[in-house]
Amino acid sequence: KVLPACLLLALLLLAPALSAEHERGLIINLEAGELCLQSAQCKSGCCRRDSGLSLARCAPKAAEFQECSPKSIYGVYYKCPCERGLTCDADKSIVGSITNSNFGVCVDPQDYSRR
């Protein structure tokens, strides 16, 4: 009967610590600059790496006129996708997605359609 009481006490003491770690983002909800494996882990929705050998880190999405990737089938980018409301003007072929070389530039679709 003593063990369950100790177990209950331990759980009560650990619960606030575990929830604080979750808010901070150990696995999801990661801030820019934190190590990641998938874009879904990042607050920004972009997990990017500089090269095939570098570690991936969360990064902000690309702003207007910045380089971008339209889509990554791997969940990690070399160039982040565009911020909301912008479109990545790039080659959207499957070959570009597989080789992760389909980079473009973020544009406002309303401005772009007027050209």
Per the structure, the count of domains in the chain is 1
Reported as a single tens digit per residue, the pLDDT across 66-85 is 999 887 777 899 999 999 99
Give the residue ranges of the chain where pLDDT is below 50: 1-3, 8, 15-22
Task: Give the tokens for residue 30.
Answer: 């990661």
Reported as a single tens digit per residue, the pLDDT across 27-40 is 899 999 999 999 99
pTM: 0.67
Q: Is residue 95 part of a domain?
A: yes
Q: Is residue 105 part of a domain?
A: yes
| CATH number (domain holding residue 54) | 2.10.80.10
Q: Is residue 12 part of a domain?
A: no
Question: Containing H/E element for 65?
Answer: none
Q: Is residue 10 part of a domain?
A: no
Which alpha helices (H) appear in the chain, and where do they start and end?
A: 2-24, 94-99, 109-113
